[in-house]
Amino acid sequence: MGEILGIGLSHFPGPLVPAKYWPQLLRTNVEKGRIPTEVFADRERWSENVGAEWGADEGVTAAREHETRLLAGYRKLRAALDAFNPDFVLIWGDDQYENFKKDCIPAFCVYILDEAVSTPLPVGRMLFKTGENAWGLPPESEFRVRGHRDAAYSLARTLLNQGYDVAYAYTTRYEHGLAHAHALTILYLDYDRKGFDYPVVPFHVNCYGNQMMQTAASAVAPSDGMKELSPPSPTPKRCFDIGGATARALAEGPWRVAVIGSSSWSHASLTPKHKRLYPDMDADRARYEDLKSGRFRNWDQLSLSQIEDSGQHEILNWVCLAGAMAELGQEPRIIDYVESYVFNSNKCFAVFPPRSAMTDR
């Protein structure tokens, strides 16, 4: 029987570049038209909390503090991953008009790969307007990880046989390889560049749904912005159920597996009610309390409209993780919960040890 470790984290792009560049993200959202120019320019229209975090140095001090906590979180997660020593790592992550475009945007897709190659560093240049990256590497540096073809094939086959209509793919077509959610997850878990030897099974979740053509596609190719042609994401219940089904399939298999839900929670850039300036703090604090109290087992009862209103679109990746952990009866150990009014999103780091490990404590 397989044993499973659960991990929740954020793939926020900030750690791609030194923290001094992070405040540029707010300006980039203004340039892209996400934040109205007049809102950004008129500091009197900012909330007290946004202004306090922006401070006298336009967010640089806050960025460095934010970076310190995020990197500490990734390092603790990597230590937990190494201690568990999985046979492979499954990552639930979203695709923002990267591998899936107009011809097909599936609700879910399992990648059946021998190897995954990514070049994610240009994301930092696009968002933060700098060619510098956190490691001083050439901008087109390739990051290669092994896939686990047998496990991915077995999982896709099992889910389809159980009535979960997942797509599957044998290759990527995005110019940078894996979607940034998967690529940055791997990169951050190897932030200290000591190597990432664990095979990876990327598991796509269409988190953007109703906002795909309006938000994700238009950010890449403005001429493609067709909001009227964006059907919804899979429901939270479906994500929760497919997480549970994935856990059952893996638990019945021969492998030790780490399953990862990868996303920040509420995104300022997805929260129109706050003029896209800052995230929905109340909604994220409610999810955090759910996680601490065990009420994450009820995340199948969240509504898609509730998630979209709060800018929590990508939390559907965590809902898949929640479904898996609820199925297995595993409890979270929260490493950190990091809030920010300026850096687009709130982030949570958590580990769900196998029940055997919890019993041994």
How would DSSP label each residue in 132-176? --TT---TT--EEEEB-HHHHHHHHHHHHHTT---EEES---STT
Taking the CB of residue 102, how many other CB atoms lie within 10 A of it?
Answer: 11
Residue 17: which domain range? 3-360
- Tell me the two tokens of residue 60: 């640089």
- The type of residue at 116 is A
The helix (run of H) or strand (run of E) holding residue 204 is: strand 200-205
- Tell me the two tokens of residue 1: 């029987």
Q: What is the pLDDT of residue 314?
A: 97
DSSP 3-state assignment of 183? helix
- Tell me the two tokens of residue 110: 């399992």
Q: Which CATH number characterizes residue 232's domain?
A: 3.40.830.10
Determine contact, residues 69/336, Cβ cutoff 8 Å.
yes
What is this structure's pTM? 0.95
- Nearest in space to 357 (alpha carbons), one of 173, 7, 83, 31: 83
Diameter of the chain measured on Cα atoms: 59
pLDDT in tens, the chain (361 residues): 789 999 999 999 999 999 999 999 999 989 888 888 998 888 877 889 999 999 999 999 999 999 999 999 999 999 999 999 999 999 999 999 999 998 899 999 999 999 999 999 999 999 999 999 999 999 999 999 999 999 999 999 999 999 999 999 999 999 999 999 999 999 999 999 999 999 999 999 999 988 877 766 565 555 454 555 788 999 999 999 999 999 999 999 999 999 999 999 999 999 999 999 999 999 999 999 999 999 999 999 999 999 999 999 999 999 999 999 999 999 999 999 999 999 999 999 999 999 877 554 4
Distances (CA, A) of 26 to 30, 64, 129: 7, 15, 12
Residue 284: CB partners within 8 Å, gap ≥ 6? 265, 266, 310, 312, 339, 346
Round to whole Å and give the CA distance between 177 and 171.
9
Q: What is the pLDDT of residue 358?
A: 58
Give residue 285's Cα distance to chain centre: 18
How many domains, the chain? Answer: 1
Q: What is the DSSP string of 212-273?
A: IIIIIIHHH-GGG--GGG-PPPPPHHHHHHHHHHHHHHHHTSS-EEEEEEE--SSBGGG-GG
Q: What is the pLDDT of residue 47?
A: 84
